[in-house]
């Protein structure tokens, strides 16, 4: 027969909070890349057209620069950055090669539907050294994909187009249901971009990659509607 001396009061456990799932994925990727040698750099979300477009070989006539794709502020004197690439430009202007940078953060595009939002997160990386090749890029991409999706993941590289890389590629992974899913873009840094940043493209070459954090988070967590990440619903957020 138990007596009152044997009674152990219930545990008054504290409810744990959580980091936002997008920041968890972002931090995981950034920390992993940092561990293999990339330096984390940061830059502003309000950018000049010069850094956001011109220096990246995105010509004045490029559709991305139209008012229907890009948010302009301060009477068109600046833009809300449409990608994290201008951070790489700032990094390249400030340092001499060899270097390896990553930057992650919020970016803005004039979209709003179940798969696109006006604000989302990107992580981009760049590595510039002598004799950097597409074969090196593939090695890095395999490391990133394996880190995120496991070493049994089947990967496909497809030619693509970005003004700031040449050759350019998009990378797909094979899902469990047999469909190829696009997960990131990458390429060899266009020599025009290196020259814009006062880096001699006859001596140096570079590789670059970029991925959308929401895209990875949707795949990893099985979330179908990107808007769920930003409803601030505690039932949603507490799951992560």
Of residues 26-85, those binding another protein (CB under 8 A):
27-28, 31, 34, 36-42, 44-46, 60-61, 63, 66-68, 71-76, 78, 80
Buried b (16+ CB within 10 A) or exposed e, 156-182: ebeeeebbbbeebbbbbbeeeeeeeee
Tell me the closest approach of the beta carbon of residue 19 to another protein, in angstroms: 5
Is 55 or 120 the residue whose CB approaches another protein more closely?
120
CB 158 within 8 A of CB 139: no
Enumerate residues 6+ apart whose C-beta is below 8 A from 47: 78, 79, 80, 81, 86
Q: How far is CA 218 from CA 51, 115, 132, 144, 226, in A?
A: 30, 10, 32, 17, 7
Closest to 214 in 3D by CA, of 77, 109, 68, 95: 109
Closest to 101 in 3D by CA, of 75, 136, 125: 125
Told to check if 153 binds another protein by CB under 8 A, we report: no
Tell me the closest approach of the beta carbon of residue 60 to another protein, in angstroms: 8
Per-residue contact string for residues 10-29; x = within reach of another protein by CB under 8 A: xxxxxxxxxxxxxxxx-xx-
Exactly one of 56, 135, 178, 199 binds another protein (CB under 8 A); that residue is 135
Exactly one of 54, 116, 153, 167 binds another protein (CB under 8 A); that residue is 167
Per-residue contact string for residues 97-126; x = within reach of another protein by CB under 8 A: -xxx---------x-x----xxx-------
Exactly one of 153, 166, 174, 181 binds another protein (CB under 8 A); that residue is 166
Is 131 or 152 the residue whose CB approaches another protein more closely?
131
Closest to 212 in 3D by CA, of 199, 226, 225: 226
Between residue 177 and residue 216, which ones bind another protein under the rule CB under 8 A? 188, 190-192, 205, 207
> For strand 155-162 and strand 72-73, is the pairing parallel, antiparallel, or unpaired?
unpaired
Question: With CB under 8 A, what is the number of residues at the site for another protein?
Answer: 107
Exactly one of 134, 153, 174, 181 binds another protein (CB under 8 A); that residue is 134
Enumerate residues 6+ apart whose C-beta is below 8 A from 192: 57, 201
Exactly one of 113, 152, 178, 222 binds another protein (CB under 8 A); that residue is 222
Is 33 or 89 the residue whose CB approaches another protein more closely?
33
Exactly one of 50, 96, 115, 161 binds another protein (CB under 8 A); that residue is 161
């Amino acid at each position: 027969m138990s007596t009152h001396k044997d009674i152990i009061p219930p545990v008054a456990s504290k409810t744990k909070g959580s980091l936002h799932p997008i920041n968890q994925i972002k931090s995981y990727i950034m920390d992993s890349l940092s561990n293999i040698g990339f330096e984390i750099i940061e830059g502003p979300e309000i950018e000049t057209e010069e850094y956001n477009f011109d220096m990246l070989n995105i010509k004045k006539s490029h559709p991305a620069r139209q008012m229907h794709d890009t948010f302009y502020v301060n009477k068109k004197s600046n833009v809300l950055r449409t990608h994290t690439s201008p951070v790489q430009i700032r990094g390249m202007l400030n340092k001499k090669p060899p270097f390896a940078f990553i930057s992650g953060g919020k970016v803005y595009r004039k979209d709003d539907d179940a798969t696109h939002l006006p604000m989302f997160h990107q992580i981009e990386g760049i590595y510039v050294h002598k004799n950097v090749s597409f074969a090196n890029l593939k090695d890095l991409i395999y490391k990133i994909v394996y880190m995120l999706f496991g070493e049994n993941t089947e990967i496909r590289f497809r030619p693509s187009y970005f003004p700031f890389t040449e050759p350019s590629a998009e990378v797909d992974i094979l899902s469990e249901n047999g469909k190829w899913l696009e997960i990131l873009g990458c390429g060899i840094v266009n020599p025009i971009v290196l020259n814009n940043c006062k880096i001699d493209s006859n001596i140096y070459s570079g590789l670059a990659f970029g991925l959308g954090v929401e895209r990875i988070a949707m795949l990893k967590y099985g979330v179908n509607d990107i808007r769920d990440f930003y409803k601030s619903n505690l039932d949603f957020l507490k799951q992560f």
